């Protein structure tokens, strides 16, 4: 009975707060250029490509981000190589006309390349963690520019840890 009375008292309060929370919920979509520095053995590789993410802001400063990227070039002197990341995690944003953000993400990284056909190419996939942040510049209510995004991306290929870095910049849309 006590729990029922507590629920009866809290439920109307939650219903009053729900519309204000619903108006704060939104999505942010980002797409742009990506530069990836892969620390591979025996030599490092610099790759160019794309980066995109979708963030659901379920609380005003806190959201959940899904980030995907593809970078292409030559890894260990093997042309036609590619690295793809798929990462998910929390993002803390400080909403303002100049909006900095930080995030911690977990997921995977996949490296492929080295063959003239898909059947002969080498493919490795491993767990990855990413810590990073950046700065968005609001141009209007629905449109902005990501001035920069810097990410520290770790991976573990062939039982060795790689400390990789990714930089990107592009366009931000808010829904």
Find the mean pLDDT for residues 23-46.
84
Q: Answer whether residue 36 is part of any domain.
A: yes
Each residue of 134-151: pLDDT tens digit?
A: 999 999 999 999 999 999
pLDDT tens sequence across 56-106: 998 889 999 999 999 999 887 777 889 999 999 999 999 899 999 999 999
Query: What total number of domains does the chain contain?
Result: 1
Does residue 120 surpass a pLDDT of 80?
no
Residues 6+ apart with CB under 8 A from 89: 64, 65, 103, 104, 105, 106, 107, 130
Residue 69 lies in a domain: yes
Is there a domain that residue 8 lies in? no
In angstroms, the CA 70 to CA 84 distance is 4
**How high is the pLDDT of residue 59?**
86
Residue 96 lies in a domain: yes
**For residue 154, what pLDDT band results from cuts at 50, 70 and 90?**
very high
Q: What is the structure's pLDDT at 113?
A: 78
* Model confidence, pTM: 0.79
Asked, for residue 105, whether it belongs to a domain, the answer is yes
């Amino acid at each position: 009975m006590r729990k029922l009375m507590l629920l009866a008292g809290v439920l109307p309060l939650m219903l009053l707060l729900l519309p204000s929370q619903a108006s704060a919920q939104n999505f942010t979509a980002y797409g742009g250029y990506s530069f990836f520095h892969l620390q591979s053995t025996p030599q490092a590789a610099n790759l160019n490509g794309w980066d995109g993410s979708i963030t659901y802001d379920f609380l005003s400063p806190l959201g959940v981000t899904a980030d995907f990227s593809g970078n292409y070039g030559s890894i260990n002197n093997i042309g036609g190589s590619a690295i793809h990341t798929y990462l998910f995690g929390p993002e803390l944003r400080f909403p303002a006309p100049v909006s900095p953000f930080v995030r911690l993400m977990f997921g995977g990284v996949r490296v492929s390349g080295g063959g003239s056909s898909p059947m002969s190419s080498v493919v490795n996939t491993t767990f990855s963690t990413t810590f990073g942040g950046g700065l968005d510049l609001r141009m209007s209510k629905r449109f902005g520019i990501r001035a920069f995004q810097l990410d520290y991306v770790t991976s573990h290929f062939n039982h060795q840890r790689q400390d990789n870095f990714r930089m990107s910049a592009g366009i931000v849309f808010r829904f």
